Amino acid sequence: MFVPNRNIPYSRQLIEEDDIQAVSEVLKSDYLTQGPMVDSFEKTLAEYTGAKYAVAFATGTAALHAAYFAAGIQPGDEVITSPITFAATANAALYLGASPVFVDIEPETGNIDSARIEEKITPKTRLIAPVHYSGHPVDLDPIHEIAKKYNLIVVEDASHAIGAAYKGKRIGALSDMTTFSFHPVKPITTGEGGAALTDNPDFYSRLRLFSSHGITKDPTLLQDKNQGTWYYEMLHLGYNFRITDIQCALGVSQMKKLDRFIRERRELVSRYQEAFKDDDRLIIPFEKDYAFSSWHLVASRLEGDFVSKRKAIFEALRDKKIFVQVHYIPAYWQPYYQSLGYARGICPQAEKFYEAEISLPVFQGMISGEVDYVIDTVKQLLTL
């Protein structure tokens, strides 16, 4: 019987010699930040996705915050999103004084249920932020139709979904803006990091300004054009959300491997799908016909009586070195959101989904013995 010689996490980075080499070259160079690697990484992201512009950020959260700012979100506005997401998707609305409005999910994918969006639209709604949960693309066409009908901006939170595709087109250039996260559990990593992509030059200009204090030296944007070359102006209240050259060198190097990483993830997921396809105790998700998933997560769902045993199964897996995780506690269940007056029960499918979910390990560099070990161990525990 295979015995794992390390903890098997739900996801993790794969760093190889060439990644280390790329970072070490920057460390020996003139620029640790605001140098050429940031530009290179942004170009790589734009080329890969087909977006006209990419702005790299210190985190995926900063990229979301900037995208909502670029969209013109103001105090009092409403931003529609899904509760099955990391808090940041909703928090970015709060940072700008806007209110997140949660729309329930479709259980099969964990993604926002587009059929339920219209009932949540009010005169204050400005933006829809669909989240490609687990890396499985949201069905975007109906969302784009609704956005057009009500004149709303769409920002895809693609934190899980770099390398995924919707109807044959890569995620990144399909809506007004798209954001990525490069946290180590994501398909590629820069340590911490994120990016916002767009085809729209106005959004691009605002994303760029927001990433660095709202300050510009761009002569076309300056109000006073008669100063010296030292001169700059602060046009908005931005932040220091800049990413470093050190991180971007890692990003460029990792981008060369993205398709390989996604291939590996997809191969691992197909092993889980095969192993559990006739098992009515645990559901492993499959792709919809419009989707090519990056499978950031294997968001499995317990069925029947096993739902109430989730905690015991979770702990037992961890005891056996399988570091599963649960994604996500519905965002509005968080005490902070409760303190803002969000009631429990507003998205029943999301709540049911949360109660049954366990994210099984999937990551580039996961070895065959490890996936077999996870499958065997889960099957054993499901007999309890």
Q: Does 65 bind ligand PLP (CB under 6 A)?
A: no
- Provide, rounded to whole angstroms, the least separation between the CB of residue 155 and ligand PLP: 11
Residue window 18-57: x/- pattern of binding to ligand PLP, with contact defined by CB under 6 A:
----------------------------------------
Residue window 268-307: x/- pattern of binding to ligand PLP, with contact defined by CB under 6 A:
----------------------------------------
What distance, in Å, lies between the first and last C-alpha atoms of the chain?
Answer: 20
- Of 376, 323, 361, which is closest to residue 7 (Cα–Cα)? 323
- Provide, rounded to whole angstroms, the least separation between the CB of residue 202 and ligand PLP: 24
Query: For residues 15 and 263, what is the distance between their CA atoms, to the nearest angstrom?
Result: 17
Query: For residues 54 and 82, what is the distance between their CA atoms, to the nearest angstrom?
Result: 24
- Near ligand PLP by CB under 6 A: residue from 41, 48, 53, 86: 86
- Near ligand PLP by CB under 6 A: residue from 9, 194, 285, 361: 194
- Provide, rounded to whole angstroms, the least separation between the CB of residue 122 and ligand PLP: 24
Is residue 371 within 8 A of residue 271, CB to CB? The reply is yes
- Provide, rounded to whole angstroms, the least separation between the CB of residue 78 and ligand PLP: 19
Is residue 43 within 8 A of residue 252, CB to CB? The reply is no
Residue window 164-183: x/- pattern of binding to ligand PLP, with contact defined by CB under 6 A:
-----------------x-x
Q: Does 156 bind ligand PLP (CB under 6 A)?
A: no
Residue window 125-144: x/- pattern of binding to ligand PLP, with contact defined by CB under 6 A:
------x-------------
Stretch of residues binding ligand PLP (CB under 6 A), selected from 14-22, 157-165, 166-174, 278-286? 157-165
Distances (CA, A) of 326 to 196, 258, 298: 26, 25, 10
- Provide, rounded to whole angstroms, the least separation between the CB of residue 165 and ligand PLP: 18
- Of 104, 101, 162, which is closest to residue 137 (Cα–Cα)? 162
**313: phi then psi, degrees, rounded to nearest 5:** -65, -45
Q: What is the DSSP string of 203-248?
A: HHHHHHHHHBTTEE--TTT-S--SS-TT--EE-S---B-PPBHHHH
Residues 6+ apart with CB under 8 A from 39: none
Binding stretches for ligand PLP (CB under 6 A) = 59-61, 64, 85-86, 88-89, 131, 157, 159-160, 181, 183, 194
